Chain A
Amino acid sequence: MKMKLLVIAALGAFATACASTPPVQEAAPIARPPAQPTAQPHEPTGPVAGSIADFVQNAGDRVFYGYDRHDLTPEARETLRRQAAWLASYSGTRILVAGNCDERGTREYNLALGARRANAARDYLVSQGVDPSRISTVSYGKERPACRDSGEACWAVNRNATTTITGGYTN
């Protein structure tokens, strides 16, 4: 019983820290839940190589942008280099890069801004050797937020380009 309470407290503290930290680094996205603490000794098994989970965990599936910006930060470039390396290892895969925006802008403006974000990520992946024919892009503007709450911490998470493996992956 005491153990359970401790776990809840720890989770609460993590969520608070996350909400107050702008996700300028790819380590921060709150869309990924923290690993569940468990009392049993357990040998961790990583995701299957070449799987979607492998890509998300070992390359990182999203990069973040500043307010009203579509230029890549050094952290974003680092993530995209890891994505390009992963895509080089699994050359049969195809990806969709989706540009997303925070909700503090009008709908069509955000669709255009999201396209810029997706294109910036796409262009960098191509510069890192990814064949452009493997990449599709789309802008969802503000319509598919990763975080639904109001406030800058949430909006910062939603200013991203998210890479999804759409084909050729290992199950």
Chain B
Amino acid sequence: MTRLFRALSALLVSLAFATAATAQEPLRVDVTQGNLDPLPVALPDFIGASDEAATRGSDITRVITNDLASSGLFAPVDPAAYIEAIENIDLRPRFSDWRVINASALLAGRVTIQEDGRLLVAFRLWDTRLEDQLLGLQFVTAPENWRRVAHKVADAVYQRLTGEAGYFDTRIVYVSEGRGTEDEPVRQLAMMDQDGANPSFLTDRSYMALLPNYSPTTQEITYVSFIEGQATTYLYDLQTGRQEALFASNGRGAASQVNPEGQSLSARFSPDGSQLAVSIETRGGHDVHLFDLRTRNLVRLTDHPADDVEPSFSPDGQQIVFSSARGGGSQLYVMNADGTDVHRVSFGDGRYTTPVWSPRGDLIAFTKQSGNQFSLGVVRADGSGIERILYEGYYVDTPAWSPNGRVLLFTRGEGRSNGTRYEIWSIDLAGFNLRRLATGGMASDPAWSPLIE
């Protein structure tokens, strides 16, 4: 665990070449709508002076290529088509060789193994039409962090070409689902890199763990555990492994004993990481509460006979969206973070649940259940009720935004005669690029980390 979270040691970022200003239109990926025409990029293996460096260079290039391709916004050019072999990244490439194979951008990089054993990874991103350097950076890191450097290079390329922050140097926590030796349900928290690498379990099989949520500011999560009929919401520091019980039903040893019978559900962080919004059972129904992680003060925000559940903060921290059956069927409601001005924001037919506010602020992702059909959608947060369905299928649950608000992960279920099979899939906000996340077995409840520092 410690190794996983060791920061990139002495991360060096420096602009190697000054980029000449140009009057011409700069290279940019259009991300305003469904991108049916991804940008062709050439990603030759990063070079290295030794066999070891060259091998690591091709490892790094493979990770970068997979990251960029998985976004759906980039189309890596088939390496078999390359004409020029990059031998020195400090020389200007032969741009015509790259234009003729339709590569709009070229990433050329080099791996150097320093005397102290650390990796120095340098790269230049070129616009092949303007014959201009778009980006030149280098990273220095401990050798075991090579995958993170690759993700950081991919993030830098993504940001330079789309104008939006990347999301590749991130992790995903989720629930690994299975059955135990006596056929009992197994629900373990697991964590992996965004691309499926470095999978590990965070909890063991002795108890059920559900509904993880990632802090937007720290390497901490919340989740709900079930141990022998006892449901408890935990705060879990992933760097130290320390866990703290925050809210417990049946009132056993937690920071806040809300109600002798009260069961708490998923706890979501405020954007600054200082507070949690959580639905807790009080007097037979669930209400949205606000918990201050510093003062340990718990305030009830809603007080309605219907269940108010699944609260999620707006990115400015001023508002909270939640789902409630107060109007009959479950719909989505927005209120101020102090509980005032509750108003409905979803108006379609069907049962709306799992609202999650986009990091960009304008949209709220949701699950909608109509008859026997489930769908994943987004609705405008402004109360206009304008919504867009991104995916429809047998089962949808627990959407989670990428930290840049561009991609949604969600639980997707497919009906089988012996029960539903659950997997985590990702989809672009524009409703394309549906992909399965590389979890080992059945998986659900994705939680996406912020960009790692």
A residues adjacent to B (C-beta < 8 A): 96, 98, 103-109, 111-113, 115-116, 119, 123, 136-140, 143-145, 148-150, 164, 166
Whether B419 pairs with A104 at a CB distance below 8 angstroms is no
Q: Which of B185, B249, B307, B323 contacts A138 (CB 8 A)?
A: B249
In the complex, B310 has a CB within 8 A of chain A: yes
Q: Which of B187, B279, B281, B367 contacts A106 (CB 8 A)?
A: B367
Q: Which residue of B lies closest to A98 (CB)?
A: B229
Whether B185 pairs with A166 at a CB distance below 8 angstroms is no
Whether A138 pairs with B397 at a CB distance below 8 angstroms is no
Whether A144 pairs with B185 at a CB distance below 8 angstroms is yes
Whether B285 pairs with A140 at a CB distance below 8 angstroms is no
20 residue pairs of the A-B complex, CB under 8 angstroms, read A103-B395, A106-B353, A106-B367, A107-B398, A108-B265, A109-B330, A109-B351, A112-B265, A116-B285, A136-B261, A138-B226, A139-B231, A140-B226, A143-B185, A143-B226, A145-B185, A149-B417, A150-B415, A150-B419, A150-B420
Whether A109 pairs with B210 at a CB distance below 8 angstroms is no
- How far, in whole Å, are A103 and B422 apart by their CA atoms in the complex? 11
Enumerate chain B residues within 8 angstroms of A108, measured Cβ to Cβ. Answer: 211, 265-266, 279, 309-310, 353-354, 398
With known contacts A103-B420, A112-B309, A143–B208 Cβ distance under 8 A: yes
Q: Which residue of A lies closest to B411 (CB)?
A: A107
- How far, in whole Å, are A170 and B155 apart by their CA atoms in the complex? 64
- How far, in whole Å, are A98 and B281 apart by their CA atoms in the complex? 15
Q: Which residue of A lies closest to B187 (CB)?
A: A143
In the complex, B230 has a CB within 8 A of chain A: yes
Enumerate chain B residues within 8 angstroms of A143, measured Cβ to Cβ. Answer: 185, 187, 208, 210, 226
- How far, in whole Å, are A128 and B272 apart by their CA atoms in the complex? 49
Q: Count how many pairs of residues, one from A and one from B, have CB atoms less than 8 Å apart in the complex.
A: 98
Task: Report A127 CB to chain B, min CB distance, Å.
Answer: 13
Query: Which residues of chain B from 319 to 372 have a CB within 8 Å of any chain A CB?
Result: 323, 330, 351, 353-354, 367, 369, 372
In the complex, B444 has a CB within 8 A of chain A: yes
Whether B397 pairs with A107 at a CB distance below 8 angstroms is yes
Whether B417 pairs with A150 at a CB distance below 8 angstroms is yes
Give 20 new A-B contacts, CB below 8 A, not counting A149-B417, A166-B229.
A104-B369, A105-B369, A106-B398, A107-B397, A107-B411, A108-B310, A108-B398, A109-B354, A112-B286, A115-B281, A116-B285, A116-B307, A143-B210, A143-B226, A144-B185, A148-B418, A149-B419, A150-B418, A150-B419, A150-B420
- How far, in whole Å, are A105 and B367 apart by their CA atoms in the complex? 10
Enumerate chain B residues within 8 angstroms of A166, measured Cβ to Cβ. Answer: 229
- How far, in whole Å, are A149 and B417 apart by their CA atoms in the complex? 6
Whether A106 pairs with B263 at a CB distance below 8 angstroms is no
- How far, in whole Å, are A144 and B187 apart by their CA atoms in the complex? 11
Whether B418 pairs with A138 at a CB distance below 8 angstroms is no
In the complex, B284 has a CB within 8 A of chain A: yes
Chain B, interface size category, equals: 35 or more
Task: Report A57 CB to chain B, min CB distance, Å.
Answer: 22
Whether B416 pairs with A150 at a CB distance below 8 angstroms is yes
Q: Which residue of A lies closest to B396 (CB)?
A: A106
Task: Report B224 CB to chain A, min CB distance, Å.
Answer: 8
- How far, in whole Å, are A163 and B420 apart by their CA atoms in the complex? 26
Whether B231 pairs with A148 at a CB distance below 8 angstroms is no
Interface centre among B226, B285, B415, B445 (most CB of A within 10 A): B226
With known contacts A96-B229, A149-B418, A150-B417, A139–B263 Cβ distance under 8 A: yes
Whether A106 pairs with B354 at a CB distance below 8 angstroms is yes
- How far, in whole Å, are A56 and B309 apart by their CA atoms in the complex? 34
Q: Which of A103, A107, A138 contacts B231 (CB 8 A)?
A: A138
In the complex, B250 has a CB within 8 A of chain A: yes
Whether A138 pairs with B265 at a CB distance below 8 angstroms is no
Enumerate chain B residues within 8 angstroms of A105, measured Cβ to Cβ. Answer: 351, 353, 369
Interface centre among B211, B281, B285, B396 (most CB of A within 10 A): B281
Q: Which of B307, B395, B419 contacts A112 (CB 8 A)?
A: B307
- How far, in whole Å, are A119 and B261 apart by their CA atoms in the complex? 9
Query: Which residues of chain B from 390 to 427 have a CB within 8 Å of any chain A CB?
Result: 395-398, 411, 413, 415-420
With known contacts A140-B226, A143-B210, A166-B229, A109–B372 Cβ distance under 8 A: no
Whether B250 pairs with A136 at a CB distance below 8 angstroms is yes
Task: Report A54 CB to chain B, min CB distance, Å.
Answer: 21
- How far, in whole Å, are A115 and B416 apart by their CA atoms in the complex? 27
Q: Which residue of A lies closest to B310 (CB)?
A: A108
Enumerate chain A residues within 8 angstroms of B369, measured Cβ to Cβ. Answer: 104-106
Whether B285 pairs with A109 at a CB distance below 8 angstroms is no
Enumerate chain B residues within 8 angstroms of A104, measured Cβ to Cβ. Answer: 369, 372, 395
Enumerate chain A residues within 8 angstroms of B418, measured Cβ to Cβ. Answer: 148-150
With known contacts A103-B420, A108-B354, A115–B263 Cβ distance under 8 A: yes
